[in-house]
Copies of this chain bind each other. A is one copy, B any other.
Amino acid sequence: MAYKDASLEEIDVAVRESYFAFQSYKNLSATKRATFLRAMAQEIENLGHELVKTAMEETALPEARIVAERGRTTGHLNMFAEYIEDGSWVEARIDTAKPDRAPVPKPDLRKMLVPLGPVVVFGAANFPLAYSTAGGDTASALAAGCTVIVKAHPAHAKTSQLVADAINRAAKASGIPKGVFQHLHGANFEVGQALVKHPLTKAVGFTGSFAGGKALFDLANQRQEPIPVFAEMSSINPVILLPESLKRNYIDTAAKLAASITMGVGQFCTNPGLVIAIEHDGFNDFVNALAAKINEQHPEAMLHEGIADNYARKLGQTLAQKGVRIEAEAAGEPGKQHGKALISSATASTFLNNPLLAEEVFGPFSLLIRCADRHELHTVISNLHGQLTSTVIGDEAELMEYQNCIRALTEKAGRIVINGVPTGVEVCPAMQHGGPFPATTDSRFTAVGTDAIKRFVRPVAFQNCPEILLPDELKENNPLNIWRVYNGSWKK
């Protein structure tokens, strides 16, 4: 790698500059911030094929995927530009004064969301563009009015640098204060550690492994001033197959699941790592159909050697557990940096008695759980950890019959998918990409969609503040024409 890790001094300078820039950036109008976000999107587009080529070289991801991911990245940026221009996102609440109220007058109170301060964003290995340098965390933090310090992911440092340079060009062109965006390299964990520990850092966004996210979460909580960390970490995204529908649709279900399990060499955080069903004729037909699809596969290059090694290690560990049976695997021996699709199965009681089987195996792998009956299915669901998604496949009558399962799954996951696959995370206001621990460190927030901005803001109330000193969002005549709760009613 051509990039040197940032020194402790460089880290300190970057965070200080970020904090200094925050003092002016937080006061810029939404229009100015939106212009910046759109310029970022444009500058990233302007990188043209060089960006695609570099990302392909660094991540082994195919061209179509990188191009699609670039679209997702610029889409994020433009979405947040529009969202902050609209302005209603600040959750303005206004309660006007009642000077005659007895025994004490009611003051005028006006509240809105304001940015937290400098946010440290960690690039994600599996999304070199959409969850890295100009990804969802950066876009939502900058949209909120926070400044951002990106720690480039070492596995795609060159891609990250290209995007960082594009962002800096966009900042310059849009008249954004110097230092609003900072970019540091760090192959060593100490760089990230120092960034999270810096007293001027006010929040952290992370997408990656459980070990990495949890370590940053712990560090942030051990600070003299603890700060919020949104880490999206570990999810096995259970898929429940209801029996009657499976009997009828096992071929179609197997094809869809095989595609979802192997998509992007299984390197999506929503990869279906667990398939749960009641054992019956339909289930065995399904397993055979799924096995046929998996057996057709060949090992493919993963993002980097470390991920491939980890996959091989975790896979080996899982397969070594008592009661775990291989059902199908891709043909041929995997080369260096390659991951081999594999499906295994176990009974519900094997799963319930071995916590290791509930851990994520990041790669093209899924474990099928055979439940003896509906009761056992419910027990397996009740014992699941927190997940990003839970999927149920069944026709309407059967879904109604298994309502309790769906309710139990709702307690475990951020998104409930009906008759689909968990992979494919739509970017829109209704998306929830988050979930109970260990899927994320705080189930109350999302990493995708417009609500991702909420991770990086806090409310401030102004009491009896003269009109002239109020932010435009809270002025009496609503100059920005945003939706506000005015004396208890939604109004524009």
Tell me which residues from 69 to 91 in chain A have a Cβ below 8 Å from any Cβ of chain B. Answer: 88, 91
Tell me how far the C-beta of A202 lies from the nearest C-beta in chain B, rounded to whole angstroms: 8
Chain B residues with CB under 8 Å of A217's CB are 221, 226
Residue in B closest to A437 when the chains form the complex, CB atoms: B225
Residues in B with CB closer than 8 Å to A458 are: 414, 434, 436, 443-444
Which residues of B lie under 8 Å from residue A385 when comparing CB positions?
A: 225
* Cβ–Cβ contact B114 & A410, under 8 A: yes
With contacts A27-B407, A441-B226 taken as known, whether A459 is within 8 angstroms of B483 at the C-beta atoms is no
Tell me which of A91, A116, A416, A454 has the highest count of chain B C-beta atoms within 10 A of its own C-beta.
Answer: A416
Q: Is A296 among interface residues, defined by CB-CB distance under 8 A?
A: no
**What distance in Å separates the Cβ of A79 from its nearest Cβ neighbour in chain B?**
10
Q: B226 contacts A430, CB within 8 Å?
A: no
Closest B-chain residue to A408, C-beta based? B23
Q: Closest chain B residue to A103 by CB distance?
A: B68
A353-366 interface bits toward B, Cβ cutoff 8 Å, 1 = contact, 0 = none: 00000000000000
Residues from chain B with a CB closer than 8 A to the CB of A225 are 385-386, 436-438
Q: Does A485 contact B (CB under 8 A)?
A: yes
What sequence of 0s and 1s flags, for each residue 336-367 of chain A, a beta carbon within 8 Å of any chain B beta carbon? 00000000000000000000000000000000
Tell which of A6-14, A42-50, A131-139, A418-426 binds the partner.
A418-426
Distance to closest chain B CB from A237 (angstroms): 12
How many A residues face the partner with a CB closer than 8 A? 75
B111 touches A431 (CB 8 A): yes
Q: Mark A433-447, 1 if CB is under 8 A from B, else 0.
A: 010111001111010
CB distance from A457 to the nearest CB of B (A): 7
Q: Tell whether, in the assembled complex, residue B399 and residue A93 are in contact, meaning their CB atoms are under 8 Å apart.
A: no
- A386 to B116: give the CA distance in the assembly, Å: 12
Q: Do the beta carbons of B417 and A434 come within 8 Å of each other?
A: no
- Tell me if B462 and A416 are in contact (CB < 8 A): yes
The 8 nearest A-B residue pairs measured at CB: A432-B461, A109-B430, A93-B430, A443-B458, A95-B428, A95-B430, A93-B429, A111-B430
Given the interface pairs A93-B429, A444-B228, A469-B403, the reply to whether A464 lies near B107 with Cβ below 8 Å is no
Q: Identify 13 new A-B residue pairs, CB closer than 8 A, beyond the known A88-B490, A94-B430.
A: A93-B451, A109-B431, A221-B221, A228-B442, A228-B444, A399-B466, A403-B469, A413-B460, A416-B460, A416-B462, A418-B464, A430-B461, A436-B458
